[in-house]
Amino acid sequence: MPIVVDNLLRTVTGDCEQIKELLATEGVRIEQIVSHGRASPEGFWYDQPEAEWVVLLKGSATLLIEGEPVVTLRAGDYLLIPAHLRHRVEQTSEDALWLAVHFRDQTKLSSRT
Amino acid sequence: MPIVVDNLLRTVTGDCEQIKELLATEGVRIEQIVSHGRASPEGFWYDQPEAEWVVLLKGSATLLIEGEPVVTLRAGDYLLIPAHLRHRVEQTSEDALWLAVHFRDQTKLSSRT
């Protein structure tokens, strides 16, 4: 299988949120998410069956997580969102770029986020 | 469980390769790797039981992958290294920072690296 290299930080133009699936296996899914300043739709909350480890690689963002204080993120910040913990993206900068790793977490051994 | 945010891009000082495990589950392991200009030891090749999706977030690097042309990486470049595909880090810049996701790949559905 030839090795293929692509780039995560290349500028993605557009005016709505764009999600690119970089890898998908039965157990793990990796996505690049370009926010273009968009928040989650009004009243919308994510309630995901899988855990999500997510890092903001560029820009800034504000997350709302049910039962938690407001989470403000700057470039490089990462966190683990357990499965079914309701959350929404309240605000993002125009250049916000995320890398998200979704996985099943029934057997989580440790987390140092 | 309180949400904890840490930062991936914070400067890590030192003069040898530093690996920080950010998440470990039975199926997926996420690591931050700070190279500090170090290559793999002379004659050493990685031969890993798990697949590795890896992105170079800062700096530049050169990888040797068995049976492949030399792979030169710049910031943002990512690739998938299948399990047991022998590879080594031939060269890295002083500021090289990697994010690596290790996972079992028996059930790989798709890869768009």
Contact B76/A9, CB-based, under 8 Å?
yes
pLDDT digits (tens, 9 = 90+) for B77-113: 999 999 999 999 999 999 999 999 999 875 554 555 4
Q: CB pairs below 8 Å between A and B: how many?
A: 146
Contact A55/B8, CB-based, under 8 Å?
yes
Give percent of chain A with pLDDT exceeding 70.
91
Of A3-12, A46-55, A92-101, the one with minimum mean pLDDT is A3-12
Residues paired with A80 in a beta bridge: A53
User: Please, are residues A58 and A41 in contact by the beta-carbon 8 Å criterion?
Assistant: no
From chain A, pick out residues whose CB is under 8 angstroms from the CB of B107: 25-27
User: Please, are residues B60 and B93 in contact by the beta-carbon 8 Å criterion?
Assistant: yes
**How far away is chain A from the Cα of B42, in angstroms, using its nearest Cα?**
23
Distance (Å, rounded) from C-alpha B70 to C-alpha A41? 45
Give percent of chain B with pLDDT exceeding 70.
91
| Count of positions (residues) in chain B | 113
Q: Which of A9, A22, A25 sits opposite B109 (nearest CB)?
A: A25
Contact A26/B78, CB-based, under 8 Å?
no
Contact A68/B2, CB-based, under 8 Å?
yes
pTM of the prediction? Answer: 0.90
Q: What is the pLDDT of residue B1?
A: 61
pLDDT digits (tens, 9 = 90+) for A37-73: 888 898 999 999 999 999 999 999 999 999 999 999 9
Residue A106 — pLDDT band, cuts 50, 70, 90?
low
Q: What is the pLDDT of residue A1?
A: 61
Q: What is the pLDDT of residue A10?
A: 84
pLDDT digits (tens, 9 = 90+) for A13-28: 777 889 999 999 988 9
Q: What is the pLDDT of residue B21?
A: 95
Q: Which of A55, A75, A107 sits opposite B25 (nearest CB)?
A: A107
Contact B81/A3, CB-based, under 8 Å?
yes
